[in-house]
Amino acid sequence: MSVKLQMVDLVGQYQKIKSEVDEAVLDVMSKASFIGGDRVKSFKANLEKYLGARHVIPCANGTDALQIAFMALGLQPGDEVIVPAFTYVATAEVIALLHLKPVLVDVNIDDFNIDIGKVKEAIGPRTKAIVPVHLFGQCAEMEAIMKIAREHHLYVVEDNAQAIGADYIYADGRRVKGGTISDIGCTSFFPSKNLGCYGDGGALFTQDDDLSKKITMIANHGQSVQYYHDVVGVNSRLDSIQAAILDIKLKHLDAYAAARIQAANYYDTAFANHPHLITPYRNKHSTHVFHQYTLRVTNGQRDALKEFLTLHQIPCAIYYPLPLYQQKAFAPFCDSVNFLPVTDQLCREVISLPMHTELTPGSQDTIIEKVLSFFK
């Protein structure tokens, strides 16, 4: 009996840590300590150590993390924030929600991350922040982005939802974890993420003591002392069950990344030099932890390939089919954006194949065979 292929195999991953996870969850249940407490404190401390971050502030989800970051920076309605047009909607959504203006710019054709030249061009008198997204598992060009930000007195917020555990490599060889370089880093613990919980969760990272205090207050109804509210905040907390699960999975994060890299290398070998497929680019300034394995289909047949794979029960997905600047929700912010050629091209070409820690060569051979057979 053949095993059903999946984009992400969370059940298989869970089975390997089942006894430890079950014990931790039952411990939380038996103590009825569901919000805050030792489990959240332990995960916070362990993630700070892993990342080399002075402060980690857990919260309810990755979108909340981004919203809280902008609130903590004190941005005002009408302020402009530069974001890539090729990203998940949450990056720009929270900017609009806070009555800021998302300024959508193009990305690089090779690594899909924000184009440094386009960032420079987009800076204007109302620009207050830049949001590089570390897309699909590798970091944007943070050294250059931080230099631009310093020159123009701008904040930088890293959207690290897809690249937790990736190393950024400076020109002088220094290595730091993605998400820890800017004023604030944000991540998501959505179940399918490289470090995912079994519900929802997120976190913010900062090296700044004052920002940490503001973020912590905002995430807890604007209070540092119960019932005394210094700022308008939100209710965004990571619950104890999810913290307990994440603390266990954090110990395996590097091994999970290694398994993803091994699977990516296997795909790369199979698709190397194919006339109509371009495999994922690896930057010199970042390791790649392969949240997604995303091909470019260059002969105009991406949609047909997706239909073919779906017909043959091969999971695949398109991240992302429509640029943010063409989405109805962002029409009020994009009247001056007519065409972003790289973003538009990627939305026509990209397709992601199954990528997770439980992939076997046998499963990948089945996927690879179907992809290659489409082009014969």
Strand order from edge to edge, sheet including 202-206 = 55-59, 202-206, 184-188, 155-159, 127-130, 80-84, 101-105
pLDDT at 1: 40
**What superfamily in CATH does domain 253-374 come from?**
Aspartate Aminotransferase, domain 1 (3.90.1150.10)
The pLDDT tens digits of the residues spanning 14-67 come to 999 999 999 999 999 999 989 988 999 999 999 999 999 999 999 999 999 999
Distances (CA, A) of 325 to 3, 131, 262, 333: 40, 16, 35, 8
The two structure tokens encoding residue 96 = 């609009």
Task: Determine contact, residues 137/294, Cβ cutoff 8 Å.
Answer: no
Percent of the chain with pLDDT over 70: 99
Q: Which CATH number fits domain 10-105+113-250: 3.55.50.30, 3.10.129.10, 2.40.30.10, 3.40.640.10?
A: 3.40.640.10
Regions in the chain scoring below 50 on pLDDT:
1
The pLDDT tens digits of the residues spanning 150-206 come to 999 999 999 999 999 999 999 999 999 999 999 999 999 999 999 999 999 999 999
Q: Where are the domains of the chain?
A: 10-105+113-250, 253-374
Question: Model's pTM, two decimal places?
Answer: 0.96
pLDDT at 334: 85
Task: Determine contact, residues 257/309, Cβ cutoff 8 Å.
Answer: no
Q: Which helix (H) or strand (E) holds 74?
A: none
The rounded Cα 37 to chain-centroid distance in angstroms is 27
pLDDT at 22: 98
